[in-house]
Structure 1
Amino acid sequence: MTQTSFDDGDEDDVPEWADRVMADVAREVRRRRKEKGWSAQELADRCEAIGFPIPRNVIANMESGRRAVLPLVEVMVLAKALHTHPIHLIYPVGYIAEVQKLPLTYPVNTEKAMRWFADLDQTFTAGPANQSMLHDHLAHGEALAEAVAAIKGEAHQREVADLAADDGERAQALRAQADFAERAARAKYDLRRVRRAIYAEGGYLPDLPTTLTDVDPDEGYERKTV
């Protein structure tokens, strides 16, 4: 099934949206399967190895358009089996020019639809003070990784300074240690800020390693844990 433009805005001219979405996914599954040189059975075997069997005939019927439904869980498993992410099966940027985001709507650029689906265009973001939960958790992951790396780097340079053979080597290690300490302080500040935002929005707070227990206040984050 190819994406086409509408002649006008009448409802009668709107293709079946669900069929179109399923056809796009099926075509991309088939394209990726063929690209890897796998048969439908080989793809089925990989789905079974993941822990969610999708029989060969089901895959064949999906790819040929004979199947009427395509559960989300199967899209997730097929994506894993094909070494990609579900969003790339739903919105195959670069392989389909346009997709239909919702029923009774005109086709739009596939990349634009994908960014809407993943909230990459920040459609529902009101500004820095009201960032969406998704963006807060992404920022949290980045700050956490930076803090952990900086703390490890600081500890390593401290050891290098302690074992330095001369004053020059020791001074260089101490400078590097100070740089890592500054990076760690900035990352901790970012963590505190984003964790306050997540808590204020009613979300759960991701766990912190023991090396970062000083990020949270002693009291105040007891409301919700997961």
Structure 2
Amino acid sequence: MTQRRSDDEEDDVPEWADRVKANVAGEVRRRRKEIGWSAQDLADQCERLGHPIPRNVIANMESGRRANLPLVDVMVLAAALETYPACLIFPVGYVDQTQELPFQDLVPTREALQRFTGEQEVPGYDAGLLPGFELHDSLVRTALAALEEEEQARFAAKTATGRAQQEEAERKRTQYADQAISAKYKLRSLRRDIRDEGATPPGLPPALGDVDPPEPDIETTQEERL
């Protein structure tokens, strides 16, 4: 199959959709053989995951005879083969160059994958709440590390054998406590911003349960209004 531009002039290159399907088909076949599975083995695993893909469908896909390739199939095939859907679409190391959209030039497959996953920013593209969630994860790690260091410094202060040693431990405890407070403050602000966007922020570990302000007591609030 060849691509047609708006002027109906055919290009002597594979159609973009066919190239994407070929990437997936080739990587499914390679991965399946690497594991030592037959097409039936892969079909059985897809069925165990709750989304049956018959053996003949898999065989037709791998041979290029399948006309379409639903996203849900790619997701289940990836899970069955214990890999990521993006790695089926952009098989880095196995396909040198690929095409991101119709009529675009070929680009290194790794670059296409990085843009597909958002690892490489594209000017003008909206990444949604992904950057906020990544920042949230970073702040959680910072806060937890600071709390752990604070606890260790507190123990060192209690078990210090000299005044200088105790003062140094107390200094470190205060430093880490301040770091934890700062990270918690930023987390609270970020979580508020996420809620303002109409979204739900990620869960918090028990150690950071005091980040979110307590829910208002509805009964108490009503009594105060009376």
Give the TM-score of the pair, scaled to structure 2. 0.73
> What is the Cα deviation at residue 27 of structure 1?
0.4
Moved more, 83-92 or 181-190: 181-190
1:191-212 Cα offsets, whole Å, 9 max, x none, are 2343244244443222334432
Which of 126, 135, 142 is matched with 1:139 structurally?
Answer: 135
Instruction: Quote the residue 1:73 is aligned against.
Output: 72
Summarize the Cα distance change of 1:88–1:176 in structure 2 as closer, same or farther, 3 Å threshold.
Answer: farther
Correspondence 1:12 to 2:1? no
1:67-89 Cα offsets, whole Å, 9 max, x none, are 11111111111111222111111
1:17-37 Cα offsets, whole Å, 9 max, x none, are 211111111101111112222
> What is the Cα deviation at residue 115 of structure 1?
1.8
Instruction: Quote the residue 1:105 is aligned against.
Output: 104
Correspondence 1:203 to 2:208? no
Summarize the Cα distance change of 1:173–1:37 in structure 2 as closer, same or farther, 3 Å threshold.
Answer: farther
Correspondence 1:50 to 2:49? yes
Assess if the C-alpha contact under 8 Å between 2:28 and 2:77 holds in 1.
yes
Cα separation, 2, equivalents of 1:32 and 1:151: 43
Which of 188, 191, 194 is matched with 1:192 structurally?
Answer: 188
Once the two structures are superposed, the pairs formed by residues 20-59 of structure 1 within 5 Å of their partners are: 20-59=19-58
Amino acid in the other structure paired with 1:135: P
Cα separation, 1, equivalents of 2:54 and 2:86: 22
Instruction: Quote the residue 1:123 is aligned against.
Output: 122
| Greater Rg over alpha carbons, structure | 2
Summarize the Cα distance change of 1:213–1:32 in structure 2 as closer, same or farther, 3 Å threshold.
Answer: same
Instruction: Quote the residue 1:216 is aligned against.
Output: 212
Cα separation, 2, equivalents of 1:145 and 1:120: 20
Cα separation, 2, equivalents of 1:20 and 1:195: 41
> What is the Cα deviation at residue 61 of structure 1?
1.4
Query: Size of the alignment, in residue pairs?
Result: 211
Cα separation, 2, equivalents of 1:10 and 1:118: 33
How many percent of aligned residue pairs carry the same amino acid?
Answer: 52
> What is the Cα deviation at residue 132 of structure 1?
3.9
Cα separation, 2, equivalents of 1:188 and 1:36: 45
SS, match of residue 26 in structure 2: helix
CA RMSD of aligned residues (A): 3.5
Summarize the Cα distance change of 1:52–1:159 in structure 2 as closer, same or farther, 3 Å threshold.
Answer: farther
5+ residue gaps, structure 2: 2-6, 217-226
SS, match of residue 14 in structure 2: coil
Assess if the C-alpha contact under 8 Å between 1:100 and 1:107 holds in 2.
yes
